[in-house]
Structure 1
Amino acid sequence: MDKRTGMDDAVLEAKLRDAVRIAERGRAHFVGFLDERQAGVAQSFMRHTGFSNFLFWGGYPEAERVLFGAFPDYQEACPEDFPLETFTVSYRMCDSLTHRDFLGALLSKGVVRETLGDILVEPGRAVLFSRAEVAEFLLQQTDKIGRVGVTLSRGAQEPLPVPHTFAPFSGVVASARLDCIVALAAGVSREKAAGLVSAGVVMLNHEVVTSVSTQVTEEAKLSIRGKGRYILDRIGPVTKKGRLSIAGRKYI
């Protein structure tokens, strides 16, 4: 069971199965918000079912918490059809609020975690995403976060607050195999990297992958238990010595 949501994989798969069944009967259906691990479970489940007309969307391209949408054959899967609302929370620049402050305050009001997406915080402003069905409740009930007075309004101006900071990494590898990429990202030998992959502690795009020969592509997300999380930004070009140039970022 995912302790943060109370939803185990069996419950999630049942919801996904229902979503597919509803879509096959001609109506789009949505599950979530899902965290990154759950999105990986959903991705794997869809691959095994053979259902392909689905999309993950969390309000912006880099969202970590996303809704899963299953769509009927006649309907293109697109972000505009997701039951999602975007809000801006404004407060004084001198007031210091964190993601934990916002999440704790909203949950204390009875909002279910599954109805909330990402919460992006910067000085004086936060942008949060929710399911449409809780939008009016949030508008009516959100005037304080802790002891800080706030104003909640629909929509958000770009650029959005930056959710993470990163440390860049780069180097050259023999190929885009998973063990090579893990070795570079984690700063370990290829033999050690192969052991990490085989041990099931490496997730590629939110799915556990145990094959060291799996090919990694640009924009892939990598999680190595005990080492960190990474985004692969660039694969290539090939150097004069025939090795592959790699560049990416580590979450810090």
Structure 2
Amino acid sequence: MKTFIYEHFHADEHTFVDKVFDWITRTEEKHITKLTDFLDPRQTYILETMINSNLNVQHLLFGGYTDAERKRALIAPDYLMIKKDEVPIQVLSIQSDDVKFSKLIHGDFLGAILGLGIKRDKIGDLHILQDQCQCIVAEEIIDYVNLHLNQVHRVHVSTDIVPLNQLNPIPVEMKESYITVSSLRLDNIISDAVKMSRSKILPYIKTGKCKVNWKVEEDPSKALVEEDIISLKGFGRIKIISIEGYTKKGNIRLKVGKYI
């Protein structure tokens, strides 16, 4: 059974596939519910793909708001009623009177929390507002972070636990454009999307500074498909929105979006 499932996913995803398979099996056989940590969109896709083929198991995803990128999943037998308020997540507000606070970026806040010994999968989305950063975190670690987080990138901060209904998520925006590539290779697409030569792009890929669908990708020749999301350190994220067609010379015309 697992061998058949493996065929639908990348080799480096098989460990997570094994986890999902175990969650589904235990839920079905022992009639128990399973709460996961925060999943990235690719993991969410894998989980939904596997669960949707099993009529005896259901799931609910929630990350604090409708368009959350990272979500926790509640997996349960099909006869139970499950609701979003059963997914234990809370919001931590980080503030500071220091003028340097406004210069802090996503990685600064995330790094500060991880520096407390918190695992990445206990942290959901982060939203940086004018006067605060709102972090969605697993309920089981909120008190610890609230007590110990007092500095972000050399800026002294204070924290508060705020109600979920006070969450102010920033909508995701993309600047769309069209590029033409000779193939769907990773290095080709990045080169055209960020307007940099392939020779300069290669070191980023080969040193682990590139991710595809939230997984580190060090193979420049990796073939990409629609909906893939590329993350390149220092350049942000790019989504392949659609393949628009081919030019007379056989090149591929792509519609891409750069996250703002």
Specify whether residues 57 and 18 from structure 1 end up closer, same or farther in structure 2 by C-alpha distance, changes over 3 A only: same
Root-mean-square deviation (Å): 3.3
Quick one: which amino acid aligns to residue 202 of structure 1?
V
The equivalent position to 2:114 in structure 1, one of 79, 96, 107, is: 107
Q: Is the 8 A contact 1:15 1:31 kept in 2?
A: no
Tell me what 1:201 maps to: 224
Q: Is the 8 A contact 2:27 2:57 kept in 1?
A: no
Matches within 5 A, 1:152-231: 152-156=159-163, 158=166, 160-162=168-170, 164-167=172-175, 186=178, 201-203=224-226, 222-223=227-228, 228-229=238-239
TM superposition score normalised by structure 2: 0.61
For the residues of structure 2 that align with 1:150 and 1:140, how far apart are their CA atoms?
12
Shift of 1:192: 8.1
Specify whether residues 201 and 125 from structure 1 end up closer, same or farther in structure 2 by C-alpha distance, changes over 3 A only: same
Tell me what 2:68 maps to: 63
Tell me what 2:16 maps to: 12
Quick one: which amino acid aligns to residue 201 of structure 1?
L
Which has the larger helix fraction?
2
Tell me what 1:239 maps to: none
Q: Is the 8 A contact 1:85 1:131 kept in 2?
A: yes
Specify whether residues 110 and 224 from structure 1 end up closer, same or farther in structure 2 by C-alpha distance, changes over 3 A only: closer
Tell me what 2:125 maps to: 118
Tell me what 1:211 maps to: none
Shift of 1:90: 2.0
Task: Find the residue that maps to 2:134 and give its secondary structure.
Answer: strand
Deviations 1:191-248 (A, max 9, x none): 989xx9xx95124xxxxxxxxxxxxxxxxxx33669932779xxxxxxxxxxxxxxx9
Quick one: which amino acid aligns to residue 137 of structure 1?
Y
Quick one: which amino acid aligns to residue 64 of structure 1?
E
Structure 1 stretches of 5 or more lacking a match?
1-7, 170-184, 204-221, 233-247
TM superposition score normalised by structure 1: 0.63
Sequence identity (%):
23
Q: Is the 8 A contact 1:230 1:251 kept in 2?
A: no
Q: Is the 8 A contact 2:92 2:134 kept in 1?
A: yes
